[in-house]
Amino acid sequence: MKSFYLIACFLLSEWVINPVCAQLIDSMATSETKALYNHLVSLSGKKIMFGHQDDLAYGVHWKYEDGRSDIKEVINDFPAVFGWDIGGIEHGHSNNLDSVPFDRMKKYIIEAYHKGAINTISWHTDNPVTGGNSWDTTRAVKEILPGGKHHSFFVSWLDRVATFLNSLETNNGVKIPILFRPFHELNGGWFWWGRPYCSPEEYKALWKFTIEYLRDVRHIHQLIYVYNTNSFSNEPEFTERYPGKELADMLSLDIYQRAPLNASKEQLKNSSLKFEKQLKENLKVVVQIAHQDHKLSALSETGFEAIPVRDWWTRVLYNAIKDFPISYVLVWRNHGFMEAKNKMHYFAPFKGQKSAGDFKKLYKKKRMLFSKATKKINLYQ
C-alpha cells in the first residue's frame, strides 16, 4: 500500500502537485487554513495570483484612505494577495518599520480576508543581540537558539508575534490564515540571519525552533510557512539552509530587476534580458524542489523600481513566469517619493504611470488571478 502511495505521488505531469501527497506541516491547522491550502494546491499550474505589498495602506501621493489602492485605480480590481511586514512588533511598537500602524494593518488584513484574498506576512525583525535593525549584521543566531544567552529574550519577541497573529480574526472569531515568511532572503548578506552570519545548521535550528514554538507552544494553527531565498547561483545555494519538507509548506524566491537611474533604452533592454534569464533559471530550481517535496511555490517578492519599461508586465514579467506553477507573484510597495534619496520608490503601476496600460493587459491574461476571481473561488471554504 505504501509503495502504491509513493508511486501515485509522481504520476502527475511535471511540476504539478498531486493533492494526495500535499499536506500542511501543521496537522491541527484550522479548517479555513486547510481550505486555503487545498485551493492553492488545486490551482497550482493553472493560475497565478497577483500580489502587492501594503496595497491598502498607501500608494503614490496618498496614505490611509479607506477603499483606495493603486492597483484598483488601474484595473478596477484589487490584488489577490496582500503583503505585510510586522517588523517592530517584537518591541511592542505601535507602527511597523515602514510606519504602518499595526491597528490599521490588522484592519486591512481582515478586509483582505473578506475580499476573498490572501494575506502574507514577512518579519524584518531587529537584531535581538544589539537592538539594531534587521540590517545590523552582528552575529545573533547562535545566541538566540535554545541554550544561548539571548534565547529567553528572543522568545519574548516570538510571544509578541504570536499575540499579533492570534489577534487577526473576524467578528465571528475566525482566525485569518496567513502565509508566514520569516527570516526571508536567507542566502543574502544584508540581514543578521543571512548566509555569512550563521551556519546552515544554526539557520535550520532557528527556523525549526520558531515554527515549533508558534505551532506547538503557542498553538497557532492558521499559518502556512514559507521558506524564502533571494536570487541564487545554483541549486545547492537554494537548498543549503532548507529545513526540510517537515518544516515548510511553500518554497519561494525574491528577485528584482535593476538598472541605472535614467538608463538608456539599450541598458533597459539588457537589464530585462538578464532579469528574465535569471528569474527563469531560479524558478526552475524552486519549482523542481517544491515538486519533489510536494510543496507549493511562489515568487514572493519582485519588481522593477519605478517601472521604466512601458510593457514590462507582459513582455518581461509574465513571459518569465507563465510556464511555472507558482501560486502567486508579489511586487513590492508603492512608497512614492523618497526625500532622503531624491527619487520615486514604487513597484506597482498607478493611474497615469507609463506601464499602467500594459498592466491592464496582464490583468486580462487567463492565468492571472485578482481579487474578484478569488472571491468567486471562495478560498476559505
Of 32, 90, 202, 301, the active-site residue reads 301
Instruction: Determine the Cα–Cα distance for residues 292 and 283; give it in Å rounded to an integer.
Output: 14
Any idea which residue has 520558531 for its cell?
210
Of 185, 246, 266, 339, the active-site residue reads 185
- For the residues of 137-155, what is the DSSP string, one character each? -S--HHHHSTTSTTHHHHH
Strands 336-338 and 178-182: unpaired
Cα→Cα distances 291→22, 237, 294, 347, Å? 10, 18, 5, 29
Burial, 264: exposed, middle or buried (Cβ in 10 Å; 0-12, 13-18, 19+)? exposed
Closest CA to 237 of 276, 280, 200: 200
Instruction: Determine the Cα–Cα distance for residues 258 and 58; give it in Å rounded to an integer.
Output: 23
- Is 169 noted as a catalytic residue in this protein? no
Inter-axis angle of helices 102-114 and 151-167, to 10 degrees? 50
Residues catalogued as catalytic: 185, 301
